[in-house]
Structure 1
Amino acid sequence: MELITTVIALGGVARCTSLYAAGFSKYRIALAVAAGELVRVRRVWVATPDADPFLVAAARDGVVLTCVTQARRLGLWVLSDPVPHVAAKPHAGGIRVTKAHVHWAAPLLPRHPNALVDPMENVLALVAACVPFEQALAVWESALRRHTVERGALERLPLGGRARRLLTLANPFADSGLESFVLPRLRWLDLPIVPQAWIAGHRVDFLIGQRLVLQIDGGHHVGAQREADIAHDAELMLLGYHVIRVGYRDVVENWPRVQDLIQRAVAQGLHLAR
């Protein structure tokens, strides 16, 4: 296999020892660097010129991508990721990372010396300890929903108390990260709350009691999707349901308004079958 093809297969950034093991000499690697086919990131790392800048930075700084940064890279639901989150070996020396959040905790799963990204189990454990509980729950539920990790495998790990609680509460059927915020916030109502209930040929985000429907619009609720949502709302109301529809910003930034709407609806008995 050609050198450049091998580096690409390794993610675009490779430790030189991996390339030696694949049969490439120091001289061959040096020729590729001199020709501009590879870039020397660090003495023992090389990369293709168009390699993922996050991976290049991790190799340069001697860290791995983890927590919310790696969760977002894997397509999980992350509310905010203002700075990169990376991990280093506990008590590691020579780590000089600026403009990043460095995690020093011992990992659940050992990290291979050639790894530039954390395994999913380590990612979730650090998310549990790092971000607010609701945001962490959204990430955990997203991981379970996408089958990037199995609940049984997590249960067998020595999780901390907060991570163990997240695993207990995580619902793999939540349709979006926003829904992960809602259920814990409404448990105090002491009413049956069914996420992803199937009513009139479609799923609704939450059925509260018998007749109160809470729908949460994400960024994709536009155009044809919006028209379909409106039509379904009308059908639900004709069947005797009361629909409360809110948006992303309502849940994330203005929850008291949403809670007030739900409280008033419950007080008026709109959650009950008539």
Structure 2
Amino acid sequence: MDVHAAVITRGGVARRATLRAAGFSAHHIAQAVRRGELVAVQRLWVAVPDADPYLVAAARDRVALTCVTQARRLGLWVLGETEAHVAAKPHAGEIRAVGARVHWAQPILPRHPDALIDPVENVLATVAACQPFEPALAVWESALRRGLVERGVLERLPLTMTARRLLEAANPFADSGLESFVPPRLRWLRVPIVPQAWIAGHRVDFLIGDRLVLQIDGAHHVGAQRRSDIAHDAELMLLGYHVIRVDYLQVVENWPWVQDLVQRAVAQGLHRVR
């Protein structure tokens, strides 16, 4: 294996010290840079020319990708990310991560010197400290649902009180991040809320009480999916259920209106068997 291939196996960005420990001399690394096979990233790192720009920036700034930035890269549900979130050692000295939010907290899992991305446990802990409860809960539930981390593992880690609240509240069966917002926001109604209930051959997002169904549409609810949703709504109503269907923007940007619909339905007893 040549030094170019060795860097590729390490994600496209590698520390010079790690490459030397693997048997590549400083001369071999310098030659690869001169030939254009590698690009120098500051003094300590090299990268292949088409390396992930996020990883290159992390190496340049001596940080690791974490919080909502790494959560999104892992495919987890993130409500918003207006700036990059990176992590640095508590005593790392001056960090010049321009345009990024730097998290200085001690990581739960130690970071290897080669690490440019945080493991999922550190990501969740940083999200817990950084984000409001509901968006953080959506990330945590997404990680549990996708099997990226086990609840038992998280329970054994030295989590903060906020992180433990998130772990206690997290439902790994929530189907989308938006569904993480609903139970905490409607708990005051004191009505049973069952996520992902199975009715008439399909799952519904929420069954409130015995007969009130709340469906939350994402961007994919168009075309054939939309026609299927309409048909299922009709079947539910024929079976005696009442359906409230709202979308992403209504939940995120106009929650009082959504809450008003639900509380009016509950006040009319539409959640009860008649």
TM range (shorter): over 0.9
C-alpha deviation, 1:94, in angstroms: 3.1
Unpaired segments ≥5 residues, structure 2:
none
Residue 199 of structure 1 corresponds to which residue in structure 2? Answer: 199
Q: 1:196-235 CA deviation, whole Å, 9 max, x = no partner?
A: 0000000000000000000000011111111100000000
Match of 1:151 in 2: 151
CA distance in 2, matches of 1:125, 1:236: 40
- Give the aligned partner of residue 258 of structure 1: 258
Structure 1 gap ranges (5+): none
Equivalent positions of 1:231-270 (< 5 A) are 231-270=231-270
Q: Which runs of 4+ in 1 moved over 6 A?
A: none
Query: Could you tell me how far 1:183 is from its partner in structure 2?
Result: 1.0
Query: What does residue 180 of structure 1 align with?
Result: 180
User: 2:131, 2:213 → 1: CA distance?
Assistant: 29
How far 1:3 moved relative to its partner? 1.6
Name the SS for the 1:14 alignment partner: strand
Of residues 92-101 and 201-210 in structure 1, the stretch that sits farther from structure 2 once superposed is 92-101
Letter in 1 for 2:185: R
Tell me the C-alpha RMSD between the 2 structures.
Answer: 0.7
In the TM superposition, what are the counterparts of 1:93-112 in structure 2 within 5 Å? Answer: 93-112=93-112
Q: Who is 1:116 aligned against?
A: 116
User: Corresponding residue for 2:64?
Assistant: 64
User: TM-score, length-normalised on structure 1?
Assistant: 0.99
1:213-228 to 2 correspondence within 5 Å?
Answer: 213-228=213-228
Post-superposition CA distance 1:229-265 (Å, at most 9, x none): 0000000000000000000001000000000000111
AA aligned opposite 2:209: G
Q: Does 1:76 align with 2:76?
A: yes
Deviation at 1:130, TM superposition (A): 0.3
Pairwise CA distance, 1:23: 1.6
Deviations 1:139-167 (A, max 9, x none): 00000001111110100011111000000
Q: Distance in 2 between matches of 1:269 and 1:14?
A: 62
- In the other structure, the counterpart of 1:25 is 25
What SS is found at the alignment partner of 1:227?
helix
Which residue number in structure 2 is paired with residue 212 of structure 1?
212
Distance (Å, rounded) in 2 between the aligned partners of 1:219 and 1:176: 12
How many angstroms apart in 1 are the aligned matches of 2:23 and 2:36? 20
Is 1:15 matched with 2:43?
Answer: no
Deviation at 1:51, TM superposition (A): 0.5
SS of aligned partner of 1:258: helix
Aligned mates of 2:224, 2:70 — CA distance in 1: 33
SS state at 1:245 partner? strand
State the Cα distance separating 1:2 from its structure 2 match.
2.1
Give distance in 2, aligned partners of 1:214 and 1:9. 47
Residue 68 of structure 1: CA displacement?
Answer: 0.4
* Percent of pairs with identical residues: 77
- State the secondary structure of the residue aligned to 1:57: helix
1:53 correspondence with 2:35: no
Return the alpha-carbon distance in structure 2 between the equivalents of residues 95 and 169 of structure 1.
35
Q: Per the alignment, in what secondary structure is the counterpart of residue 215 of structure 1? A: strand
